[in-house]
Amino acid sequence: MVTCYTGKIGTNLEVGKRMNRIRGVQALAGFIFIAALLMLVGFDFAAYIKIFLGALLLAGAYGLLLLDRRRHRELSHSLLVQTINHHRHDWMNDFQVLLGLLKLKKYDSMQPYMDKIKAKLHQESCLSKLGVPSLIAYLMSFRTTARPFVLEVAVEQEMNLRQLPIDSEKVSKLLRNTVETFSQCAVPPDGEPNILSLELDKEDETLLLDFVYEGHYKKDKLQQALEKMEKDSKRWGSLEQHLGEEKAVLTLRLPLEEK
């Protein structure tokens, strides 16, 4: 199998150049804003000069706002392109394996692999229907950046968080913060990859978020983070945890009730 990285490297270079230009213009706009503010406050100028400095102040502030929005848009577009490329490579690899099995006439091996692809399609379909765009983008793009573990997400049934009697934005924030907590406590592997499995499921009266981490991690640091979460858990549900040497289990249950 041959993988070509030229397009991705070219895209990253172009994005880097645009981001550098934006940062340069941001620095200039910031300088204008600060200089106008200092001159307006520190000196007693004539009225027309104050009006001019006030205009510069407003122009600098407005420029900073526009440039910050453009920077976030560039980063979002870059992440989207990386995510699409990553998934395209995954599917190309799957098709190449199937074609290889077909050419070798290993028909018995094709069915298990087709079942694997079917399960993968089902999971991606469930993720795309979670109803919170920022959460969907976060989970779908997680593998496109360097991380100390592999994130495996399992959604037992199709669900739209916005249609459940729960604060979907709060669930999204809690889920992302928990994944990032594991990311900060994980120790990069020197052999087999670390794995964080996340299961989302709707029970009778609760929404289940079940995290299982397998691999090396900073136990004391994770313990401190979970203790803080446990103190806050009364506001949003319940928390159960079990920390082993190379395995950590965290179960969050969020009550489903009228918003």
The answer, as to whether pTM is greater than 0.75, is: no
| Residue 148 · residue 187 · CB < 8 Å | yes
How far apart are alpha carbons 191 and 168 in whole angstroms?
Answer: 37
Q: What are the phi and psi torsion angles at 245 (to 5°)?
A: -70, -45
Q: In angstroms, how far is CA 82 from the centroid of its own chain? A: 13
For residue 41, the model assigns a pLDDT of 62
180 vs 148: CA distance, rounded Å = 11
- pLDDT per residue rounded down to tens, the chain (259 residues): 333 333 444 445 555 565 566 566 556 656 666 666 666 566 565 666 666 666 666 666 666 666 666 665 655 555 555 656 666 777 788 778 888 888 888 878 888 888 888 877 777 788 888 888 888 888 887 777 778 898 888 887 788 998 999 888 889 999 999 999 999 999 988 888 999 999 999 888 889 999 999 999 999 999 999 888 887 776 777 888 999 989 999 999 999 875 4
Write down the pLDDT at residue 101. 82
Residue 90 corresponds to which amino acid?
D
Architecture of domain 145-255: 2-Layer Sandwich (3.30)
Q: What's the pLDDT at 50?
A: 61
Helices of type H across the chain: 6-42, 47-103, 107-128, 133-140, 168-185, 219-236
pLDDT recorded at residue 2: 30
Domain ranges of the chain: 6-88, 145-255
**Cβ proximity of 113 and 150 under 8 Å:** no
CA distance 34 to 37: 5
Rounded CA-CA distance 210/152 in Å is 12
